Amino acid sequence: MMRRVFITLLLLVISVAAALWFERQGGFVMIRVADLTLQTSLFVALIVVLATAAVFAIVGRLLRNVGQLPGRFQQRIVHRRGRLARQELVDGLIELAEGQYARAEKRLETTSDHAVQPLLYHLLAALAAQRQGEWERRDDQLAAADAAEPRARLAVGLVQAQLQVEAKQWEQARATLGWLREKAPHNHRVLMLLARAMQALDDQDGLAALLPELRKQQALSDEEVQVIEKRTLVREFEALGETPSTDELARIWRALPRPRRRDPGLRVCYARALITAGHDDVAERMLRRWLDASWEPALVAVYGELSTTSEQQAYKRITAWLKERPDDPTLLVAAARQASACALWGQAKSFLEAAAARSDAPEVDRRLAELYEQLDEPDQARAAYRRALDHQQG
């Protein structure tokens, strides 16, 4: 307030001083147009010029403001619609969370036309349609989301693939993910979903081709990758026929990366392929070398499956290991299998009884029950079967 008073007084003083100065100067201004002559003092002429300029400035500003009225009105409308769209988004999310999918879809679809960023509205509407099992409407909303924001094409495609996987539309999911992989070949999420779709479709060839990238990008857990690796390796071994040579089997084995050849599960696959093809002696030497380097129960179990040319070779090796590991249940079961192969029934029973006393695995008791039946000991067989059932039921 004081500032305005000060400025007003200052302007008044300046005006008075200017008027007195112009009066002392005694100058005048004369304007002649045809027969019309206007004459006035310099001060009055200056006042007229300033007043005219002020009038033009005021009129120009008024005209400019009038011209901006439609734009300002439109801006207010857009702002109001944006505020309403945000509120509708919140309401749609609440309805979606509450399971009111039809209402949520309708609200989000209607509001998307007025939203500044309609991408999110279309994606949520697609989710609502999915929850109702309306696949066509879901895909329409996803197409609208893609058109609304072309930069989000990968993200929209991933949402579509995820929804197709959830709906168990495996063929469509594989097609969508195949296209996405062309756009983003190393994307972790794309690879993971593509592997899921291939597993559901039992596309073993596709999984085998995808395996190196799955391993490199760590798109799946180690356990899942190992399952795929084993299946792929077994299929390659089986493709060689019933009696492949050791060279053919070794060629497939050596094609694996060296670190993967140290995996116990893959070693089991290779050893069993050798045994199935009748190359037990080769398998025995390989298993023995691996076990001497690193003790693995899975390899011990395979060792018990051997049928070597020298009947007691594997049995002698296992009994030697038992002196170092007398309480190893896996080794005891393997020893029982080899003892049975050598027709050493008493030894086989002793080994299985010792294994059953040290393990809760139902398979051990079942093997023992079968051996009791073979030895004509029905009471012990029934008891062993009951223990196996109890262990299986937890």
Per-residue pLDDT tens over the stretch 36-69: 776 666 666 667 767 777 777 777 777 776 666 5
More confident residue, 341 or 190: 190
Nearby residues of 224 by Cβ (< 8 Å), 6 or more positions away: 195
Question: Residue 77's pLDDT is what?
Answer: 52
DSSP 262: G
Q: Is 41 helix (H, G, I), strand (E, B) or coil?
A: strand
Query: What number is the average pLDDT over the span 67-73?
Result: 60
Question: Residue 1's pLDDT is what?
Answer: 66
- CA–CA gap between residue 33 and residue 29 (Å, rounded): 13
Per residue in 85-127, pLDDT tens? 678 778 888 888 899 999 988 888 888 877 778 898 899 999 9
Question: Residue 4's pLDDT is what?
Answer: 74
Average pLDDT, the chain: 86
Question: Residue 314's pLDDT is what?
Answer: 87
Give the burial string for 323-355 (b: 16+ CB within 10 Å, else e): eeeeebbbbbbbbbbbbbbeebeebbbebbbbb
Question: Residue 70's pLDDT is what?
Answer: 66
The token pair at 171 is 């063929």
Whether residue 244 contacts residue 277, with contact meaning beta carbons closer than 8 Å, is answered with yes
Query: What number is the average pLDDT over the span 136-156?
Result: 93
Question: Residue 352's pLDDT is what?
Answer: 93
- CA–CA gap between residue 226 and residue 89 (Å, rounded): 44
- CA–CA gap between residue 116 and residue 86 (Å, rounded): 9
Question: Residue 63's pLDDT is what?
Answer: 74
Which conformational region is residue 65 in: left (phi greater than 0), alpha (psi within -120 to 50 degrees), or beta?
Answer: alpha
Q: Is 167 helix (H, G, I), strand (E, B) or coil?
A: coil
- CA–CA gap between residue 261 and residue 132 (Å, rounded): 48
Chain centroid to Cα 385, Å, comes to 45
Per-residue pLDDT at 249 exceeds 90: yes
Question: Residue 29's pLDDT is what?
Answer: 60
Query: What number is the average pLDDT over the span 282-291?
Result: 94
- CA–CA gap between residue 37 and residue 88 (Å, rounded): 71
Question: Residue 53's pLDDT is what?
Answer: 74
Per residue in 292-301, pLDDT tens? 999 999 999 9
Nearest Cα residue to 228 out of 238, 237, 220, 217: 220
Share of the chain above pLDDT 90, in %: 53
Q: Is 138 helix (H, G, I), strand (E, B) or coil?
A: helix
Per residue in 258-273, pLDDT tens? 888 999 999 999 999 9
- CA–CA gap between residue 318 and residue 195 (Å, rounded): 41
- CA–CA gap between residue 314 and residue 280 (Å, rounded): 10
Question: Residue 91's pLDDT is what?
Answer: 86
Rg (CA), the chain: 44
Whether residue 19 contacts residue 47, with contact meaning beta carbons closer than 8 Å, is answered with no
Q: Is 311 helix (H, G, I), strand (E, B) or coil?
A: coil
Q: How many helices (H) and strands (E) does the chain have?
A: 19, 2
Question: Residue 9's pLDDT is what?
Answer: 74
Q: Match 């879809």 to its residue by tokens.
A: 105
Question: Residue 42's pLDDT is what?
Answer: 62
pLDDT band at 236 (very low <50, low <70, confident <90, very high): very high
293: amino acid identity, one letter: A
Within a 13 Å sphere around the CA of 367, how many CA atoms are in the beta-carbon half?
A: 25
Query: What number is the average pLDDT over the span 261-286?
Result: 93
Question: Residue 325's pLDDT is what?
Answer: 93
